[in-house]
Amino acid sequence: MKPRRIEQTLLGYRLTSPVIVSSGFLTRNVELLQKAENHGAGGASIKSVSFSIATEVPRNFRPDVTVLPGGKSIVCPGDRRPTGPEIAGVIQEIKRQGTGMMIIGSAAGGGRDNQKWIETATKLEAAGADAIEFNASHPFVDVPPEVFMAPFPDRMAPAIRAVKEAINVPLIVKLTAVTADLGLLAQACEEAGADAITIMNALPAAPPIDIRNGVRPVSQTLENLTWTCLTGQAIFPVACYAVAHVSRKVSIPVIGCGGISSWMDVVKMIMWGASAVQICTAIHLQGFRTIDKINKGLERFMEEEGYSSIEDFRGLALKQILPQHEVKLKEDYWLTVREDRCNLCKRCLHIGQCLAISLHNDTIFIDNEKCLPCGTCIQVCPKEAIEVRPRASVRN
């Protein structure tokens, strides 16, 4: 059978798709992993566990998800943490069934104790994991220090080095973007022996609250407030920046993660330097069919653009980035309004900082001498009536 264009090699493992299902409640059992594979996932990072530290989330805890306006982002306070033996059993069973996905064991909860990290990593490897993901990116701000690995090079490097020496499979380090110097942290991970970096995890967030009724949580199941994480489309631009920044600092593969919801997002993440991607929220909200749609869209895009492999367009956006002082404006272009499209909705008149747009005799007028230009009017216009045209073609 002819290989598909979207196939990708990651750490010596041939992925049928660059899409890996992120560690979380989507990868907590065999049934869900079977769904992921049936819908075309190239890999799965199994739900994070620790074999040596008691769970920081109660075993009866339920993932109380709040979907934000727009329907593509969520805040969630976490979910039930399975035990190490439970997850080891999941890995053993999915491997016994002959899965074609890359199975990544996600190790968490070692804190500053290297032996605890080693214990979890080696047991996940023994269960059959094809790689270990060192999860140093917990998004919750009140996790106790004996569980959380603070994102500082001097703390992470010794643990990464110790785990790398103890296992025989590739080691992936999952990072948060919430750190003082992401590039320096990524370089320290590579120098300590990391074979790849996943960037980034969800971002810490405050929980939704009921501003009346005693400031209670907006929750179906929780009686109290607790810190949450933000994930989904809202964090995608931050994730792209993180992937781009890390890709420029390290020579090892980068796995992009955070807010991906379509094949176009996958393309963008790869163009920012990612070799593969991880997805969670979009699948949670739209089902595993999301993977099918992404694979089909990505295959079609590559065929239309003449790309024979993912490497053909990986990192292309990095070549276009310039320092702000070198960026040039299109000074010979003006904004114009197409009267045949404008329905006088007046959204463009209400842009806060704009002094260039006005209404005269039921016609929208743009004074280009006063225009910043910020481009907001183009994006808020529902009829695409505002266009950028060469100045020479615009009548005064």
The answer to whether residues 273 and 383 belong to one domain is no
DSSP codes of every residue in 263-316: HHHHHHHHHTT-SEEEE-HHHHHH-THHHHHHHHHHHHHHHHHT-SSGGGTTTG
Q: Same structural domain for residues 257 and 304?
A: yes
CATH number reported for the structural domain that contains residue 360 in this entry: 3.30.70.20
Q: Which domain holds residue 239?
A: 8-320
The last residue of a domain, from among 289, 320, 351: 320
Residues 275 and 366 in one domain: no
Same-domain check for residues 107 and 248: yes
For residues 300 and 368, state if they share a domain.
no
Alpha-carbon span 287 to 235, nearest angstrom: 20
User: Do the domain assignments include residue 1?
Assistant: no
- Same domain for 68 and 29, yes or no, is yes
**Residue 76: alpha-carbon gap to chain centroid:** 15
Query: Does 3 fall in a domain?
Result: no
How many domains are contained in the chain? 2
- Contact (Cβ atoms closer than 8 angstroms) between residue 209 and residue 215: yes
Domain assignment of residue 2, yes or no: no
Per-residue model confidence as pLDDT tens for the chain (396 residues)? 456 899 999 999 999 999 999 999 899 999 999 999 999 999 999 999 988 865 555 555 566 788 888 888 988 877 777 889 999 999 999 999 999 999 999 998 777 889 999 999 999 999 999 999 999 886 654 565 555 566 778 889 999 999 999 999 999 999 988 888 999 999 999 999 999 999 999 898 888 898 988 888 887 677 888 888 899 999 999 999 999 999 999 999 999 999 999 999 999 999 999 999 999 999 999 999 999 999 999 999 999 999 999 999 999 999 999 999 998 877 788 899 999 999 999 999 999 999 999 999 999 999 999 998 889 999 999 999 999 888 877 765
Say yes or no: 367 and 227 in one domain.
Answer: no
Assess whether 45 and 69 both reside in one domain.
yes
Q: Are residues 273 and 351 in the same domain?
A: no
Residues 169 and 149 in one domain: yes
Final residue before a domain boundary, out of 267, 301, 320:
320
258 within 8 A of 233, measured Cβ to Cβ? no
How far is 377 from 384, CA to CA, in rounded Å?
A: 9
Query: Are both 242 and 291 inside the same structural domain?
Result: yes
Q: Are residues 247 and 332 in the same domain?
A: no
End-to-end CA distance of the chain: 61
Omega within 30 of 0 (cis) for the link into 207: no
Residue 36 maps to a domain = yes
